[in-house]
Amino acid sequence: MSRIHISEVGPRDGLQSIARVMPLDAKKAWIAAEAAAGVPEIEVGSFVPPSLLPQMADTAELVAFARGIEGLAVAALVPNLKGAERAIAAGAQKISMPFSMSETHSLKNVRKDHAAVIAEIRAIAALVAAQPEETRPHFEIGLATAFGCTIEGVVSEEAVVRLAVASIEAGAVEVGLSDTTGYANPAQVKRLVRKVKAAVGDSRLNTLHLHNTRGLGLANALAGLDEGITTLDSSLGGLGGCPFAPGASGNIVTEDLVFMLAAMGYETGIDLDKLLKVRAIVAEALPGEPLYGFTPDAGLPLGFGKVAA
Ligand code: ZN
């Protein structure tokens, strides 16, 4: 059975969405426990200016800590060249920069039009290429609002394809598709993955970043797997929630995703019992913060892991 790579984004995406600051020691305990449960990659934080997001001020320390964990791939989000410089100095093995497919969203969020973002990608790619091979990070562009935008509404698939190609031509190693707003549906996921893969090459699109805003997160994940997606971003306990839909998780929930994949026979390398226990660390560090997920509440089904004869 094929292997699916889970990238835990809770310490970045989840924590960035809540105002409270999780203490550094709790973040370290969380990261260490998830790695011990077999999670192969963790996005530990974001190199945004600490004045903008005080929750992310300790990202360099977390990268250094996580690099000490054997076998774990350490990822960080970078908003721009300055962030990429800090991420590389800290030792991040994967850097990913969001690129909003909705130009209005891009102007509002990072005050850059598409041409300016592509120039930034080119500058980061040059910086990455200048690093010695053994410390050169994997440089990925996350195509944000790829399935729809809360400001523009429908986002043109032709535009996504064109900007994916432009990102690769500017020097990104890979592009991923992000359903930032929770607008995606499975038919759309299949269509867009197919179109982007055809344009940039099969090996240049492997990742989906999905949200569960309207309850379609896992259905969208499955649609992606059917089209050859091999990496899925998710967040423990769906931490951070969704600002537009109270009661809905933000990112798809790692525990439910791992349950689905394991039940279907996919390999993730993750021990689900150990993963479920990691929630206690997050719950204790953020008292009162809602944690989402069905599998943690329902428990594993009787006979889970045994194959019917
Ligand atoms: Zn997200």
How far does residue 42's CA lie from ligand 1's centre (Å)? 14
| Ligand 1 centroid distance, CA of 205 (Å) | 17
Q: What is the pLDDT of residues 258-276, one digit of tens each?
A: 999 999 999 999 999 999 9
| Centroid of ligand 1 to alpha carbon of 41 (angstroms) | 16
Q: How far is the CA of 174 from the centre of ligand 1 (A)?
A: 18
Q: Residue 309 above 90 pLDDT?
A: no
133 CA distance to ligand 1 centroid (A)? Answer: 30
Q: Is the pLDDT of residue 117 over 70?
A: yes
Of 172, 232, 236, 242, the catalytic one is: 242
The percent of residues above 90 in pLDDT, for the chain, comes to 90
Domain extent listing, the chain: 5-308
Q: Is the pLDDT assigned to residue 234 strictly greater than 80?
A: yes
170 CA to middle of ligand 1, Å? 24
Measured CA to CA in angstroms, residue 174 lies from 125, 166, 198, 227 at distances of 11, 11, 14, 16
pLDDT at 240: 82
The DSSP annotation for 155-177 comes to --HHHHHHHHHHHHHTT-SEEEE
pLDDT digits (tens, 9 = 90+) for 193-232: 999 999 999 999 999 999 999 999 999 999 999 999 999 9
Q: Is the confidence at residue 192, as pLDDT, over 80? A: yes
* Whole-number pLDDT of residue 27: 98
Ligand 1 midpoint to CA 252 (Å): 8
What is the average pLDDT value for the chain, to the nearest integer? Answer: 95
Tell me, what's the pLDDT at 249? 75
Q: Residue 287: pLDDT above 70?
A: yes
The pLDDT value given to residue 241: 75
Least confident of 112-116, 238-242, 280-284: 238-242
pLDDT reported for residue 244: 64
For residues 105-119, give the mean pLDDT: 94
Please indicate, yes or no, whether the overall pTM of this predicted structure exceeds 0.85. yes
The mean per-residue pLDDT over the stretch 125-144 comes to 97
Confidence category of residue 90, pLDDT binned at 50, 70, 90: very high
CATH superfamily of the domain spanning 5-308 = Aldolase class I (3.20.20.70)
Lowest average pLDDT, out of 19-28, 219-228, 236-245, goes to 236-245
Task: Report CA torsion sign: 162, 10, 44, 72.
Answer: negative
- Residue at 183: amino acid letter: Y
Is the predicted pLDDT of residue 19 greater than 90, yes or no?
Answer: no
Distance from Cα 273 to the centre of ligand 1, integer Å: 25
Burial 220-256 (b: 16+ CB within 10 A, else e): bbbbbbebebebbbbbbbbbbbbeeeeebbbbbbbbb
pLDDT band at 243 (very low <50, low <70, confident <90, very high): low
Q: Is 242 a catalytic residue?
A: yes
Q: Quote the tokens at residue 18.
A: 């809540």
**pLDDT over 70, % of the chain:** 97
Identify which of 239, 237, 178 has the alpha carbon closest to the alpha carbon of residue 210. Answer: 178
pLDDT tens per residue, range 28-50: 999 999 999 999 999 999 999 99
